[in-house]
Every structure is written in structure tokens, then in C-alpha cells.
Structure 1
């Protein structure tokens, strides 16, 4: 299903941080959803540095996949170990109902947000082994393997390009160049790497804001917005809570709330009660 969507034009994929946010993404008409590793970790009150276990990620993936009828791509960080572990990761996420995974080449012990300093990357050889292991482990050949390289911020643009080519040779279906720093870099990357590409439009990072139409023009079939919903939601909650503390009532922002009726419709309250 996801591969068919890629043939229909540039795909906009917002990030979900739990099942109900994924349901809202589907309700708003998006054709796929991304399970954000940062969103899952931050929702647990943790930084995105690889603290949560595979089992904890898989549980969230199950909740999300069961809540929506659109394909879910899951961020699995570094795959939770080496090639052998990656095999188990693919099997677990495929069993959970996920349509594909995104695997990055950071060193697990030094994992950071892709737009922060201090991250390190593993060797090209090891990452290629992990990608091959992922491809071999999937039962459904339509299960997508997305390889992310964080090399731009560690070894430079050219190294990121060379890694991307090697990852594609190893079997990656899509390449995700993290933290490119200009429109020009995105254009050059697309000119050099012929595998389908995914662009990351996260906020407040190293990448400038580029529109989906602009990405479409330069050949990126997937544009990811991993933390947009999370950040806007958290800021809205903060504002409401400050006003509640100051005024002692929620009357002033009732119009900004999702109503009980709207929430129940979103989660299928009446339908589930009839079962």
C-alpha cells in the first residue's frame, strides 16, 4: 500500500506520538503516518537518545497501527543493536502491523537528535550489514526499509552522499539524508542519489523551511513533519494551563478545545460501545 502511494506523487507524512494523534492525522486526510521516535521518547518524559527499549517502541507501534487504516512508518532509531538485533526489530514491527521502518546510522552510545552536535556514526560496512539484515528479515517484500544517514553533520555532505549510495546498494528502499543545511544541498543530493528520497522538515534545526511543492520540484517523493503536531500541541496546552492557573477557569479557551462530541467521534466511542 505504501509503495503504491509513492507512485501517486509527493507524500506528506506527519509524525504521531501516540495512537490518538495518529487518528487525528488520518482524520485530516493524510495518507500515511510516521511514528516519531522523538515524539514517543518525549511523551515518556525522556530525551531522544535511545533510552526506551525495543519492546516499548513496539508496544506504541501496535497501538498506532491498530488505531488507523493508513500505513505507518516507524522510527526505530539505530535498530536496537547490531545486524542480528535489527532482524528481530524488523520481525517485531512487521508483526505489529507497521508498513516499514526507518533505520539510522548513528552510534547507539552517542545517539542524539539528528540536528544536534555530538552525534557519531557507525562505519558504512556495519550500516550496510544492518540494512541487509533488515531486508532479509522482512516477510513481506513491500515492507519498507528506509535508511537514514546522519553523516552530513559529522563528516560532511560528500560523505553523506557516498553513504547513501552504499545504503541503496545494500537494499534500502528509501534514503533519508538527515540535517541537510540548504535547498542547494537537497538539490545536489537528489542529483547524485537516484534512490527515492525522504526529506525531513523538522522545526528549529539545521534545515531551512522548504515547502512540499519545492521538494516535489527537485524530486523528493516523501516529506516528513515528525514533530510538528507534538510541538504545536504542547505549546497550546502550556498556554491553556497558564491561563487556567491565572484565572481559575477554562471558560476563556473553550472554543479552542476539541469538544467531547468531536473527541468521541475521533476515537469511535459509540461504535466501540456497540461491540
Structure 2
């Protein structure tokens, strides 16, 4: 668990080890530092910062390219500071051309994330499971990935190349783009939003041995909800569950507010919620109390 005075970490090497290990690495989506902390406390080895969730939580809007790179990187920095496990962050399109990608990669590295994914959509981008997407030319994205490789200072920083071309030009083009992106230096490949199990299997087969693969188990999205065993059988190395925590939080807040509106108080909802003491323990109050005593000269 991330302590205020935690020891040295090497999350990037750890992420590479986890990706290379047998079986899919499960990466639940966090939209803020609290959800990241909950993911770590639940026993997961990695946190995925969701752009969809970040947009919804920060500005209450859909994921259609409204957040700036500065806002996303600031959110990533807060998430990294809350946990000790590696954080994979959505870096959208890199927020511009290849030169902007250089700055984006450097900034995410400085924020402490273990890896990012960059996508080949036209800016402003859209959530990969929304309609109306467009993609940039393959050669332009290759240049952006080459810029990302050149920009990273830590060779263990993981670069994930995402293509959204399947929905625009078809699965064959998406696979060919993924191959080109691996050739440009991407460490991991991410073909977004295949719409059938057959297409998922085709992606896995065609890219087997090229690079490790990400499967986006987008809750309610266009990709079929395969079992974790099946995802592993197909050969995917990472599976992200981007918005489950966001949807659960939305449902919980709605239920609480309905209780308050009906009864005038939240009393009837409290038995199903963490107690005040449980929550303050969860967010690290015991450590704060210990540090206050330590640095105030108190003993015991």
C-alpha cells in the first residue's frame, strides 16, 4: 500500500514482469486516486487509468476529446501517488503531432506512470466504443510512435500502441497497422473494439508472437464479454476493465441520493456503506496519526 514515506519502487520493471508472466494481467480501471487505492487494496497488481472515467469524473462529460493532456497527466500523477502498484495510463492521441507526443511521454514519465497507450485516432478523439471515429494515416502514427520511443528516458517505460482502425477501415487494416506499430517500437499492441469473438480470435492469431496484446473488456461496449479463461486461451497478455468502478460508483451514489430524497436523511442507506472509521482507515488516517506523533516529538 502506498505510504506517504514509502520506499523506492520500480513500477516499470514490475509492469514488464507482469506482462511477461503467464496468464492475462488483470487491470481494473481507476478514474481517480481513491478508486486506484481501492483497486490496490483489493489485491490487484496494476491499475489502469481510464480516460473515459477521468473525463466523466473531472468534468462530468463523455470521452470525446474534451480533456487536455495537462488534465490527464495531473490525474495520473495523483493516482500514482496513491498506490505502490504500477499504473498504466490512457494518453489518448498524445495531444497533437509527433512533437507533442515527445512532450506527452516525458510528462507521463515524470508523473511516475509505468506505461501509456497512444491511439491512432484523429484529434479530437472519441471513446473507442462510440461511433463516428476517424483515424490518422498509418505512416503518421508510425512517426508518433517512433517519437515516443525516442522521448522516453527510462527504457522500461511501457509503450502500448492502440489502433481504432477496425471500426473505420476494417479488421485487416487494424491488424496491419498493429504490425507496423510494433515495427515502430511499441512494446504492446491494442486493437480496439473488435465486435465478435471470431474477430477477437483473428486479432490474437494474426498478432501472435509480434508483441503482447491488450484486451479491452469495456463494460457494455461493442466487444463481446469473454471469460478470463478464454481471453487467456487466445493469448492476450493484459485485460483492462475500464469503467466498472465508475459505473458501480454511479449506481451507489444514485441509490444514496434516492434515499435522501425519499426520507430526508441518508440513515436508511448507512448500513450498506463503510462506516466513517472504516473509510478513514482505508484512506490512510492511521499512518497520518503515526507521522504526526513522530514529527511532533510524541512517543507511543
Which bracket does the TM-score occupy, shorter chain normalised? over 0.9
CA drift of 1:237 comes to 0.8
- Looking at structure 2, the residues matched to 262 and 220 of structure 1 have their Cα atoms a distance apart, in angstroms, of 37
- Looking at structure 1, the residues matched to 235 and 205 of structure 2 have their Cα atoms a distance apart, in angstroms, of 9
1:161 aligned residue (169, 172, 175) = 175
**Which has the greater radius of gyration?**
2
Structure 2 counterpart of 1:231:
247
1:7 and 2:23 are equivalent in the alignment: no
2:144 aligned residue (123, 126, 130) = 130
- Looking at structure 2, the residues matched to 267 and 91 of structure 1 have their Cα atoms a distance apart, in angstroms, of 29
- Looking at structure 2, the residues matched to 58 and 113 of structure 1 have their Cα atoms a distance apart, in angstroms, of 18
Structure 1 counterpart of 2:64:
49
Structure 2 counterpart of 1:115:
129
1:142 and 2:156 are equivalent in the alignment: yes
CA drift of 1:53 comes to 1.4
C-alpha deviations, 1:1-39, integer Å up to 9, x for none? 100111223100011010010000000000000111111
Alignment of 1:196-275 (within 5 A): 196-275=212-291
Out of 247-256 and 235-244, give the one that drifted further.
Answer: 247-256
C-alpha deviations, 1:79-132, integer Å up to 9, x for none? 0101100010010010111001010110003x2111111110001001011111
Question: What TM-score do you get using the length of structure 2 for normalisation?
Answer: 0.89
Out of 22-31 and 39-48, give the one that drifted further.
Answer: 39-48
SS at the partner of 1:31?
coil
- Looking at structure 2, the residues matched to 55 and 269 of structure 1 have their Cα atoms a distance apart, in angstroms, of 29
Provide the aligned C-alpha RMSD in A: 1.0
Name the count of aligned residue pairs: 274
* Unpaired segments ≥5 residues, structure 2: 1-13, 292-300
1:60 and 2:75 are equivalent in the alignment: yes
* Unpaired segments ≥5 residues, structure 1: none
Question: What TM-score do you get using the length of structure 1 for normalisation?
Answer: 0.97
Structure 1 counterpart of 2:99:
84
CA drift of 1:273 comes to 3.2
SS at the partner of 2:169?
coil
1:181 and 2:195 are equivalent in the alignment: yes
- Looking at structure 2, the residues matched to 212 and 36 of structure 1 have their Cα atoms a distance apart, in angstroms, of 20
Runs of 4+, deviation exceeding 3 Å: none
- Looking at structure 2, the residues matched to 244 and 264 of structure 1 have their Cα atoms a distance apart, in angstroms, of 23
